């Protein structure tokens, strides 16, 4: 029984080391009340009651892994600014190794500011630059990442299309990982999946898969398999894991297809669910479980977080309780 297998692993006390490389950002929330319109323009006036930040992007994947019990090294690029210092402070307090994060003075740290009236988002303001890293910074990043790759049990790429995963840099990182026999799991973004060539697993959602495979839509199993095989051929990946929202997730390889039905009993907020899925997959595969087992557990993890508001995280014990309650 899978739940007992996981409990045995937990009792053994193994703590996998996972390297997360990706686009780093800050989620900044301004929360208040809006009871009137401005006399200057037909927009709400927000009376601010609270303001806070949380790590976003690849840093949210790291937080999910930390909650599951992994040791984390986080790699990426920020600006050389006060927001980078704020992010670094939060990561250090949480016990995430941020030694593989570089600062780039030519870009700001990515910040997404959401203005909320109660639970309603009124506007989002983004501060970001998405140009690729300079050639010198790419070389420095690769050189520094080698030690982190050596120490990792598994590697996660969290691509938010903010400039880190330029094709040349992405390929260098995958080659370094494969040279050391380390599996790379990719949460992709954008239309060019050739840059992920050599990755072990690529995890798009349905819309991302359709766009990358250049198909108009995916509305049935046959279309999903056909699109996934386009990406398998492009990248040489062993598996494409497709998240399907209310339908669960599908695991596609050259020889097999498996649908894992959704485990959610209710859906409140899907924000950050993709980060939870890839974190759970990486954690359980680093513990020695196979892809089917890891995806089954990730499916339960997603069911837990989408019942909560915002980017939530979960624990192994909560996943086990969710499995055993069904």
Kindly list the catalytic residues: 275
Q: Residue 253 burial by CB count (10 A; 0-12/13-18/19+): exposed, middle or buried? A: middle
Structure token digits, residue 253: 């390889």
Q: 3-class SS at 50? A: strand
Q: 3-class SS at 66? A: helix
Structure token digits, residue 303: 């069911």
CB 148, CB 10: distance < 8 Å: no
Distance, in Å, from the CA atom of 243 to the CA atom of 248, rounded to the nearest integer, reads 6
Q: 3-class SS at 291? A: helix
Contacts of 46 (CB under 8 A, 6+ apart): 30, 32, 33, 34, 115, 117, 122
Helix (H) or strand (E) holding 98: strand 97-104
Distance of CA 31 to the CA centre of its chain: 25
Q: Which among 102, 86, 92 has a CA at the least distance from the CA of 62?
A: 92
Q: Residue 202 burial by CB count (10 A; 0-12/13-18/19+): exposed, middle or buried? A: buried
């Amino acid at each position: 029984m899978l739940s007992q297998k996981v409990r045995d692993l937990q009792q053994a006390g193994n703590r996998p080391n996972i390297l997360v490389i990706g686009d780093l950002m800050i989620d900044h929330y301004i929360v208040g009340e809006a009871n009137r319109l401005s006399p200057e323009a037909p927009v709400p006036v927000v009376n601010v009651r609270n303001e806070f930040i949380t790590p976003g992007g690849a840093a949210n994947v790291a937080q999910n892994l930390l909650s599951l019990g992994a040791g984390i090294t986080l790699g990426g690029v920020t600006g050389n600014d006060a927001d980078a210092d704020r992010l670094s402070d939060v990561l250090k307090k949480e016990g995430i190794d941020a030694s593989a994060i570089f600062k780039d003075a030519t870009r700001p740290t990515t910040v997404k500011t959401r203005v909320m009236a109660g639970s309603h988002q009124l506007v989002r303001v983004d501060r970001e630059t998405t140009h690729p890293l300079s050639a010198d910074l790419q070389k420095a990043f690769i050189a520094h990442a080698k030690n982190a790759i050596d120490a990792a049990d598994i590697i996660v790429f969290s691509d938010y299309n903010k400039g880190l995963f330029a094709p040349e840099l992405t390929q260098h990182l995958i080659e370094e990982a494969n040279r050391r026999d380390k599996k790379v799991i990719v949460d992709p973004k954008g239309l060019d999946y050739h840059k992920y060539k050599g990755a072990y697993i690529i995890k798009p959602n349905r819309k991302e898969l359709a766009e990358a495979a250049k198909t108009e839509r995916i509305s049935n199993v046959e279309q999903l398999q056909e699109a996934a095989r386009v990406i398998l051929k492009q990248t040489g990946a062993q598996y494409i894991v497709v998240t399907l929202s209310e339908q669960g997730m599908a695991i596609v390889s050259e020889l097999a297809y498996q649908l894992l039905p959704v485990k959610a009993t209710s859906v409140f907020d899907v924000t950050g669910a993709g980060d939870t899925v890839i974190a759970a997959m990486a954690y359980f595969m680093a513990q020695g479980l196979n892809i089917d087992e890891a995806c089954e557990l990730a499916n339960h993890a997603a069911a837990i977080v989408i019942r909560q508001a915002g980017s939530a995280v979960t624990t192994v014990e909560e996943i086990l309780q969710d499995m055993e309650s069904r």
